[in-house]
Amino acid sequence: MFKGLTYKKRNKLMIVVFVFMLFISWSFGYKKTFAAISDCNEMQSRAETAKDLPEKEEALRKDMILLESKIGSNKDSLAFQQKLLKELTSFCDSIGLTVKEYPGAETKQEIEYIVETHQFVVQGNFHSLVKLVNHLEHKSKTGKIAEADFRKVKDNKTKREQLNLYLYINHIINISEK
């Protein structure tokens, strides 16, 4: 069969047969092997991700508990207000600040939540006022600080400038759990 062909034609035929056999072997074996390898790598990456899930779940639970304690664990508005005033006045007395004004809480009702905003005016030096903000924000569990505004105000009685901190603290109450 190949005896009548020249060497040039035999070489061309062998190249065509080699390419054809390479294509067949690719479609039967190599293609499936490479697909299995990529699936294996994907499953290994999923297994690595799933290995950390219990720790991530526990961290998320702790974060959720912390957030709930900051924004709405105390459902009684009056009890929260008393807790906030007690925390604020005790800390202000300990570092020499003066609570100048507390006009009360403003409430705004959303669909599932009531947002209470408590405004305080505290007078003192800058360093002590920053300590107060840090204490309320990180150490105490008395709501979320919405705004802290430092203003220089001239006191008409003493004719001196005083530094006041206008502090707005939000307390969120979930109506559906109330």
Q: If you average pLDDT over every residue of the chain, what do you get?
A: 84
What predicted TM-score, i.e. pTM, was given to this entire model? 0.56
**What's the pLDDT band for 32 if we cut at 50, 70, 90?**
confident
For the chain, where are the E strands, in sequence order? 98-109, 113-123, 144-155, 160-174
Beta bridge pairs of residue 174: 113
Instruction: Count CB atoms within 10 A of the CB of residue 159.
Output: 7
Q: What is the mean pLDDT of residues 104-109?
A: 85
Separation of alpha carbons 93 and 76, rounded Å: 26
Structure-block tokens of residue 115: 């947002």
Residue whose C-alpha is closest to residue 174's, from 115, 123, 118: 115
Domain boundaries 74-177, CATH class: alpha beta
The pLDDT value given to residue 5:
81
Instruction: Count CB atoms within 10 A of the CB of residue 128.
Output: 18
74 pLDDT higher than 70: no
When computed from its CA atoms, the radius of gyration of the chain, rounded to whole angstroms, is 36
Residue whose C-alpha is closest to residue 121's, from 161, 163, 79, 70: 163
**What's the pLDDT band for 75 if we cut at 50, 70, 90?**
low
The pLDDT value given to residue 16:
94
